[in-house]
Structure 1
Amino acid sequence: MVALGYGMYGQSRITDDIRPELSRPARLRAARLVHGAERAAELENADPDVFDQVTGQAWEALGWAWQARLGLPLENRYGATLVNSELVAQARSRSIGSRFSDTPENVCWILPELDIKKIDGNFIQEWADTGEPRIIFMYRDPRDVILSMVNFLSGKTAAGFGNFSEFKVFSAILNSFPTMDEKLEYALSDPAFPCMGDHRRALWLLHHPRVCAVSFEELVGPRGLGTEQRQDAAIRRILDFVGSRSSPAEVAEKIFREDSFSFFKGQIGAWREVFTARHREIAESVLGDVLSSYGYV
């Protein structure tokens, strides 16, 4: 999405080089939603530094408010103090009836989950009626996801494991096990382990005709042990979905990012190298229906 020119926002590590650059009208719109029309009118003639500071804070507060409306467990991950700060609470209260189309344009929202049971019904109705925002659902073999999460929370990636509160708990648990075998058996067996259950909750995204569903295995390309043909087809599908005229070949060159903070190996089927017969047995027991639904057999 960065290669397509989008700024990124959401529950991922957003660095300055991929952060959205909001237009002046978008900043004023955010300020109007959070502070009201009178304050937004005052900002139109404000000192540039004051304008940038106030509208920037309004956008951040609006972003938190929308993450809550999209059903993300913010208090669990970041704590009630941040989520219920005065400005965020004001944004949640004043923007409660607003439409997602009122948020800034050219922003790609990164959501680790989109649980249909927890999303604000007004958003669901807006999306169902208009098809906007366009939703791209990327998924991966659950066995590789679990292995990747174990590596991530065991400290094998270069830049740590992020700031979700639960990650500290599960990192401590994993690091109490002396072997990878034990870590994997635990991760596969604990239904509360991060990422367990995500594929089931996302089945509606996999099947909805207005969602562009694309797999990691399609997108990763030869450097991740995929193929150029599948990668090209997946990229073209996404370009068509978002209405982009970008070159598929140029986009493909930018996809495999070893400098991503969560990058470890980025390869298809890495689970096959480390899963024992016992791990395969547990995976089949707890994930058999999911593997079948997503075509991983």
Structure 2
Amino acid sequence: MHWPDTLWSCTPAPGSPCTPGPTRKQEPGAGPNAIAFLDRWLAEDPSAPQTRHLNWHAALQALACGDFAQARRRADEALDRADVGMRSATNWRLLRAGQAPAGRCDLEHVRALPAAPGGTAEVFHTFNLALALAVEAAGDDLYALAARAADDQRPDFREVLAPVVRALAEVVAGHPQAAVDLLTGLGEHVERIGGVRVEREIVQDTLARALVDTGEHTRAAQLLDRRRTARRHHAYEDHLLAPATRPPTERSSIAAAPSPVPAARPTSPERPDHAADGAVRPYPAPPVGALAFSLPGRRLMTLPPHIIVVSPLGSGTTLPLRITNALGYTPHGTMSDAGDTPATGPGPGEVEPLLRAAYGREASVRLLRGEHAELQGAFRTAITALWRVWWTRLGQPVTHASPVHPTLEHRLAHHLETPLHHLLPGRNAWYVTGLDLSRADADLLRTWHGGGGPPIVLHQRDIRDRVISQIRLLTGPADRVGTLPEHLVYRDILTSLPTMDARITLALTDPCFPGMAEGRHGQWLRRHPRVCVIAHEQLAGPANGGTAGARDQVLTVLLNALGRPDATDLPDLSTPPARDPDLMVGAWREHFTAEHERLLERHHAGLLAPYLDRPALPAHVPAPRPGLPTT
């Protein structure tokens, strides 16, 4: 194999004249002394063919002693743009340590190398190509390369390279635990990747950083213990072990390449959306054009990628919607057309797993290598099917008519390799009006019970205000009612009644009145210690009958539950909502009579909120049940 201008030239084979000396200097972490030694060597013969390689080793020594600026300078000044292996090894190590990379490779050039003659002839060079793809955040290329290696008949490719490349893809996709699982079992087999100690340490660096990102700092420190104790300079290892406390700057982040397909929302009316608790609209068509997802925010923010928000009809769902929009979630389900946050495109590494689950490995590789239009159409179809399956698993009604073939839905519904919510692209808030244990998918509930499912937030409101809100909606302008079947039916019934008194009496005595069944079947949510319960009365703010203090406290509870206690200063969160008649606390007092109170006690005593006359939870006290005020 001979690539004089690309990978081969920048990573000489073990045993070449320029390899042993610099490598021996690398092992004890000689740092400045090694750099001076290499510079003297370079000064004696600046035109030597090993100049670029020796400068690379000097950059590695600069990394070891924490001189990241020098490492970047040497990479930029000494390495050609086509020096894929050395440049990518330097940049990947810089990125693992949370540092800005040097100049990057041309992604299209890197993508072309595997298809070149001898492009994947050797495991060592293929590993360097994978590093280059990882630096460029080309997650779907990495998944495809990993699949190709897994199907290779050569043991080193199948048994070692495949899991390493897949781990790089998982890191790029923001799944450090998956990377840990893939790399932990390799042990000494990683030596079969070839190269010298530097390449094997890059795999170790990747595992150590992934351990830190999953909270296993002790294991990461043990992994690097020999390097930290044996080397005179180990600032690089110290940076690897440092927790990420803030998102990196634009230059220091892994830049996400534009996604090969656009963001999409369901095109089938699984359950029509009703913005502001009533105005029903069909799902919007998928936007046209590719959208890039900002990988740094996804990787280093601690927000879960998906959350489930249960907000019964009439609860004033625009209040939690405002919060999830501010946190960057795209709303789906009952509020998918009411958010100000545009639908995000799939992030790095989010396309290939879904394509593989939907169409199989061979078809997914063919799609990723084929025409963009075909890939785009296949992904849109897969995401529509996936969202229908996910909506069904949440126990929500779907229409029998579907724009996707039932075989595709069946395949995704029975996909066991990856938890279904891990296939959902982007950061999503799934709004539902109820979560009935008898209707939700059993595997979904078991996964959530075991800590593997999306967090659940219950947004609750005094049932009396919910009743008034529903009556106002259904007897108001027709264009706000939409096409939700129960709303259409009860609009006819309510408008036939002459007075508000009669309408309230109907709502309290009819078990099928919109929102009542969801309330009865969802009482487990407000009792479960892992459900974050937030109250409308606390979120409403001073303009709507609440208080600023109660709102601050419940925001603290919610943001802590989502892992973002630092987000309280976001403009949309720090500013209380403006006055809105639909959000007023205690609006029921104007309409409820003593007879209505008796009917409520007789038919719905269990739905009365237990928190209304109790003090809110202090912000500084950890909640045994997040969001539930204590007595």
Q: Same fold (TM over 0.5)?
A: yes
SS in structure 2 of the partner of residue 130 of structure 1: coil
Q: Secondary structure at the match of 2:567?
A: coil
Match of 1:119 among 433, 437, 440: 440
Q: Give the match for residue 394 of structure 2.
A: 70
> What does residue range 95-106 of structure 1 map to in structure 2 within 5 Å?
95-98=413-416, 99=419, 100-106=421-427
Work out the CA distance in 1 between the residues paired with 2:354 and 2:342. Answer: 16
Q: Would the aligned equivalents of 2:544 and 2:584 in 1 still touch at CA under 8 Å?
A: yes
Does 1:278 find its partner at 2:595? yes
Aligned-partner residue type, residue 14 of structure 1 = D
> How big is the shift at 1:67?
0.8
Match of 1:3 in 2: 326
- Higher RCO structure, 1 or 2 (CA under 8 Å, sep 6+): 1
Deviation at 1:87, TM superposition (A): 3.2
Partner of 1:199: 519
Q: Are 2:481 and 1:161 equivalent residues in the alignment?
A: yes
Moved more, 12-21 or 58-67: 12-21
Give the direction of change, closer, same or farther, for the CA distance of 1:195–1:181 in structure 2 (3 Å limit): same
Tell me the TM-score normalised to structure 1 length. Answer: 0.85
2:610 aligns to what?
294
Q: What is the letter of the counterpart of residue 558 of structure 2?
A: I
Aligned position for 2:159: none
Partner Cα separation in structure 2 for residue 61 and residue 254 of structure 1 = 38
Q: Is the 8 A contact 1:9 1:20 kept in 2?
A: no
- Per the alignment, residue 222 of structure 1 pairs with 542
| 1:145 maps to 2:466 | yes
- The letter of the residue matching 1:183 is R
Tell me, in whole angstroms, the C-alpha distance in 2 between the residues paired with 1:255 and 1:287. Answer: 31
In the alignment, what sits opposite 2:71?
A: none
| Residues 474, 487 of structure 2: 8 Å contact kept | yes
Deviation at 1:12, TM superposition (A): 2.6
AA in 1 matched with 2:377:
Q
- Distance in 1, Cα, partners of 2:515 & 2:506: 13
Deviation of 1:28 after TM superposition, in Å, equals 3.5
Aligned partner (choices 445, 451, 456) of residue 135 of structure 1: 456
Residue 242 of structure 1 is matched in structure 2 by: 562
Report what 1:174 is aligned to: 494
Q: 1:2 to 1:254 in 2, by over 3 A?
A: farther
Paired residue secondary structure (1:122): helix
* 1:254/1:36 CA distance change after superposition, 3 Å: farther
- Runs of 4+ in structure 1 deviating by more than 4 angstroms, as ranges, are none
Give the unaligned 5+ runs of structure 1. none
Report how far residue 19 of structure 1 moved.
4.5
Q: CA deviation at 1:68?
A: 0.6
Residue 39 of structure 1 and its aligned partner are, at CA, apart by 3.0
* Aligned residues of 2:434 and 2:519 also touching (Cα < 8 A): no
Percent of residue pairs identical: 28
Aligned partner (choices 384, 389, 414) of residue 60 of structure 1: 384
Deviation at 1:203, TM superposition (A): 1.7
Partner Cα distance (1:223, 1:59) in 2? 40
The alpha-carbon deviation at position 166 of structure 1 amounts to 2.1
CA offsets 1:115-135 (integer angstroms, 9 cap, x no match) = 112221111121111253111
Give the aligned partner of residue 20 of structure 1.
Answer: 343
Could you tell me which residue of structure 2 aligns to residue 212 of structure 1? 532
What SS does the corresponding residue of 1:194 show, helix, strand or coil?
A: coil
CA distance 1:153–1:29, shift in 2 (3 Å) = farther
- The amino acid across from 2:594 in the alignment is A
Farther off after superposition, 6-15 or 133-142:
6-15
Deviation readout 1:140-183 (Å, 9 max, x if unpaired) = 111111111111222358x5123322221111111112222222
TM-score (norm 2): 0.42
Larger radius of gyration: 2
Q: Match of 1:106, as an amino acid?
A: R
Contact 2:344 2:426 (C-alpha < 8 Å) held by counterparts: no
The size of the alignment, in residue pairs, is 285
Deviations 1:219-240 (A, max 9, x none): 1111221111111111111111
User: Relative to 1, partners in 2 of residues 1:257 and 1:153: Cα closer, same or farther, differing over 3 Å?
Assistant: farther
2:331–2:339 Cα contact (<8 Å) kept: no
Query: Structure 2: how far apart are the matches of 1:172 and 1:27?
Result: 45
Is the 1:235–1:248 contact (alpha carbons within 8 Å) kept by the matching residues of 2? no
Q: Is the 8 A contact 1:131 1:210 kept in 2?
A: no
Is contact 1:152-1:161 (8 Å) kept? yes
> Residues 160, 92 of structure 1: CA spacing in aligned structure 2 closer, same or farther, 3 A cutoff?
farther
Matches of 1:255 and 1:80 in 2, distance apart? 42
From 266, 272, 283, give the equivalent of 2:583: 266
Counterpart residue identity of residue 7, structure 1: T
Corresponding residue SS for 1:218: helix
Structure 1 match to 2:362 = 38
Mark the runs of 5 or more structure 2 residues left unpaired by the alignment.
1-323, 614-631
Q: Is the 8 A contact 2:367 2:375 kept in 1?
A: yes
The 8 Å contact of residues 62 and 88 in structure 1, kept in 2 or not, is answered as no
- The one of 71, 90, 93 equivalent to 2:411 is 93
